Each structure stands twice: as structure tokens, then as C-alpha cells.
């Protein structure tokens, strides 16, 4: 098309030069490949698939049951992210966020501890003031509303918020050892009030 326009313009100007026909390539915009959302944005969909799976201390499978950290490890594993086994170890995974509920985003890990004790429970922050976790006191994988009496137990024991990504580095065993977290001591059952 440009060649034809140029030929017309040259003819109108009285030029006798001929213009060779050159194919014009019009670039067609190619959409950028869509990258799957980061695990925090999609992990809740996967985690939700296991609602109702029973609680089992030391459990790491939907067929036998989950404890809190076994559930988190299993769900993130389904998303291609390897996490350590216990909530204490998972408390150093990913990126630290401010330890406030308003700093947590859906899919972030939230860790809990009784006053003066080590981290002993982990859950997914589900957004809208709810957590999704495998709870011994709740009987298995469930949502808990932080605005309830039961939720208050969790609200008051928040000790860490972590953002986990499939782009971040894996946690080195050496780091876990230096923090005294390499030993796998299973998480104790939570002591939240029963629903």
C-alpha cells in the first residue's frame, strides 16, 4: 500500500521513476504470554478443594488427613512450591510481611503461637477476615472467621505473616539449621475453642 501511495505521489509530481513493488509487512501485535498468577493468588482455589478433610496429627495426605503444616505443605506442593514440613520451618519461608492482619493478603501464610512459645500453627489467610486451615480443635480443614469468639483465639496469637512465591529461592537446610529449625518436631494440636 505504501508503494502504491508513493508511486501516485511521484506521478503527480511529474517524476518518471518507477517504484518497485515491495511487500509491506504490517506488524501484528502478539499478546504477551499470560503468566499464571503467583501462588498466593491461586493457592486458595487449590486449598479449598480439601475442605472437610479430617485432622490427623502428623498427617500429610488428603486420604489419611492433615495436620496444619502438612496441609499447607501439600497444597503449595500442588502449586509446584516446595515448603518445609513444620509450621516453625514454614515461618521462615517466602518473604516476611508486617505482622498485622491488615498486611496479610489472600493466600499468605499466617503463623500462630501461644505467648512465650514457638510457632505451633499455620493457616492460609483467606481474605475478608477468615483463615483456611487444618485445625485439630475444628476437626479438619475448615474456614474460621476471625470475628468470632473462636477466631479471637487466632487473632490474638498471630506471630508471623509470610508471602510465598514460586519465584523465590528455596529454603536452604543450612538456614533452617542455623535458626535451630532443622529438626522436624511435628506441630502440636491447636488449642483454640471448639466451634
Q: Where are the domains of the chain?
A: 39-178
CA distance 163 to 153: 22
Distance of CA 60 to the CA centre of its chain: 18
pLDDT digits (tens, 9 = 90+) for 49-58: 999 999 999 9
Residue % of the chain over a pLDDT of 90: 61
Q: 42 pLDDT exceeds 70?
A: yes
- CATH number of the domain located at residue range(s) 39-178 in this protein: 3.90.1720.10
pTM of the model: 0.71
pLDDT of residue 9: 47
pLDDT digits (tens, 9 = 90+) for 93-123: 999 999 999 999 999 999 999 999 999 999 9
**Which residues lie across from 121 on neighbouring strands?**
112
CB 135 within 8 A of CB 153: no
Residue 70's alpha-carbon distances to 3, 95, 122, 161, 186, in angstroms, are: 67, 20, 10, 18, 9
CB 66 within 8 A of CB 135: no
Given CA atoms 155, 182, 82, 48 in this order, what sign does their dihedral have? negative
Amino acid at each position: 500500500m505504501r508503494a502504491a501511495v508513493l508511486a501516485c505521489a511521484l506521478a503527480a509530481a511529474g517524476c518518471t521513476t518507477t517504484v518497485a513493488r515491495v511487500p509491506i509487512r504490517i506488524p501484528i501485535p502478539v499478546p504477551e504470554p499470560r503468566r499464571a498468577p503467583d501462588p498466593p493468588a491461586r493457592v486458595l482455589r487449590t486449598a479449598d478443594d480439601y475442605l472437610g478433610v479430617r485432622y490427623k496429627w502428623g498427617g500429610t495426605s488428603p486420604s489419611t488427613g492433615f495436620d496444619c503444616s502438612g496441609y499447607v505443605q501439600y497444597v503449595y506442593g500442588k502449586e509446584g512450591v516446595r515448603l518445609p514440613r513444620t509450621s516453625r520451618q514454614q515461618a521462615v519461608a517466602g518473604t516476611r510481611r508486617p505482622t498485622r492482619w491488615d498486611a496479610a493478603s489472600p493466600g499468605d501464610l499466617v503463623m500462630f503461637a501461644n505467648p512465650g512459645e514457638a510457632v505451633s500453627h499455620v493457616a492460609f489467610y483467606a481474605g475478608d477476615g477468615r483463615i483456611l486451615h487444618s485445625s485439630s480443635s475444628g476437626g479438619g480443614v475448615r474456614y474460621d472467621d476471625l470475628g468470632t469468639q473462636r477466631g479471637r483465639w487466632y487473632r490474638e496469637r498471630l506471630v508471623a505473616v509470610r508471602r510465598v512465591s514460586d519465584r523465590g529461592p528455596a529454603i536452604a537446610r543450612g538456614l533452617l539449621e542455623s535458626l535451630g529449625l532443622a529438626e522436624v518436631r511435628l506441630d502440636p494440636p491447636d488449642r483454640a475453642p471448639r466451634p
